[in-house]
Each structure stands twice: as C-alpha cells, then as structure tokens.
Amino acid sequence: MDLLPRHGVAYATLLLAYTAELSRRESVEAWANAAMNHGSYLAVVTDLRSPAHALIEAGLASVDAERGVCLARPLAATATASSPRHAMRHVAVVLLSARPPEWLRIAVDADRVEHAYIPQQDVQALDWLEDELDDVLIQARELLQDEKQLDLSKAIGDVAEEVVVSALKAAGKNPVHVARISDAYGYDVDVPGEQFLEIKAAGPRTADRFHLSRHEYDISVRRSDHWCLVQVIFEATAFVADRITAADVREIRELPAPVLSEYVPADTLTFRWEDTAVITPSPESWQLSTLRPDPAFTCPGFSHWEER
C-alpha cells in the first residue's frame, strides 16, 4: 500500500507507533493485533497489518530478533506528541517524507505550495489537515534528500529538449540532439547551419528564472551570433500527467545570446563566477519563438521518464 497520509492511514500509523512504544512486540502480526486491542472501536475495523508492513518497507520500522518491532526515530517521536491533533500532523509529515508522492518535489518549495500541481484526489485525501495542509507539505519537502530532486529536474529538462527537437523536425529541420552525446557542447541542440540551442524547462511559477552554467555562458559568448537559449514553459497539468502531449506546453520563447549577456554577472579583478548562476531576465527581454510543439508529440510523464 502507499503511505499517502489519508486520515485513516495517519490514524493507523499513530496507533501502531503508540503500541510499539508501550512494550515489546515480537512480530508484525503481534504488533498489529496489539494495536487493534489498544485502539478505539475504529481500530477494530481498521486494517493495521497492511500499514504495519508498509511502515517496515518504508524504513520507518523494523523487526529485530532480540528487540522485536523497533521504530525509526521520526516515527517514534509521534508517540510522544502532546496532543492527538499534533501527533496526527507529525505523522503526516513523517509519511510524506518517507514515501513522497511524485508531485511533492514539484508542487512544494521552501515557502509556498502550488496546489494546481497536486492531483485532485490527493488534495481531497489530505483535506482533513485543513488549514495546516500547506505547512505540513512544506515541512515534509524540507526533510527530503536532494538526489531524487536532481533526477526529477533532469527528467523535466530532458522532456523540454524532446519538445524542441520534435518541433524542429515538424518544421522541416534536421536537428542534432547533442546533449545526448555529451554535456561538453555548452548547448543541447545543433540546428546545422543555423543555430545552437540551449534548452531550459520551466513551470508556470518558475518561468521568471533559470540556471546557467559558466560553460554554457562561455559558449554563448563564443558563438554569440548563433547561440540562443530556448525556454519551454509547461502547463501545471504536465507535472501530474502520465503522458505529456503538445497540449501540456504553454509557451516556447527565446533569449538570444547578446540579450542574455546583459544579465550575467561580470568578472572583475577580484571576482569570477565559475559554477552556475540564477538568471532572472525581465519579461520584455524574451522573444516568442516561432517554434510550435509538434501536435503529435507525446512522451511519458516526468515521473515515468526514467523508464524510457
């Protein structure tokens, strides 16, 4: 089973945590049975074996030959919460960070939640948190490791490149997708005899900025007349879709190299940026691209991109 903290899943998890802390439970079966005996009438009709196994699979609990059922520190902390409401809230944070739904990394950042990126059925499943929902999601997002986020960011960027390549082919061009060969080029797509295109992906709320590497910038200066940054802005629907189509692309726009250079921090005698910079061009700096997504374009959703 998944561990999305619906009210029933959160309640079952809290009951299991409380029971495990009371005394030694030698097996998952004994643990679940004890939780049913200690709980209210609701516990008797709640399936506690499935969530107990799910907690073990998620690394939130384990069964030791000598100590029996042992809770991981985050889950153990829920059993000592000062009030049931506080405990349930803490359980929701723990479950979300242990088994994060794909949308958590997309919809949530350090200070806000974009509800349009969350499937409606999941929003409804979490509505018991009421006005605490956003705080719970932000706290859970802060607990995640960054490795998966890097994989997801790459998947979004890869799809953006595929959108541009397919659009170029639909326009009768013969692009070379050099990013599949190496990152050393300093651009992602070569349109022979015409342009070198660096592709950046964005959603509705991240379109105002992008990351630029020093190498990409150096190449843009060297090939200034032909290098261009292309930004693919996806609709919010793209981030929760099983398959992405042309309808999930809101806009394709461009930033020529000479315009880009106006926003790049200049080197001085005492400072030189060497890694990456966050560039935030003014809305007026962008040019609407003549490229249009191929109407036949389709590819796996971001969460399934690694399966390709």
DSSP state of 110: S
Pairing of strands 249-256, 195-202: unpaired
Question: Nearest 10 degrees: CA dihedral of 111, 117, 120, 121?
Answer: -90
Low-confidence ranges of the chain (pLDDT < 70): 38-46, 81-82, 145-151, 303-308
Which phi-psi region, left, alpha or beta, contains residue 172 (left: φ > 0; alpha: ψ -120 to 50)? left
> 119 CB contacts (<8 Å, ≥6 apart)?
103, 240
Q: Residue 86: its pLDDT value, please?
A: 83
Q: Residue 175: its pLDDT value, please?
A: 94
Around Cβ 75, how many Cβ atoms within 10 Å?
A: 25
Global confidence as pTM: 0.64
DSSP H or E stretch at residue 210: strand 210-213
CA distance linking residue 179 with residue 10, whole number of Å: 44
**What does the pLDDT look like over 140-170, one tens digit per residue?**
988 875 555 556 778 889 999 999 999 999 9
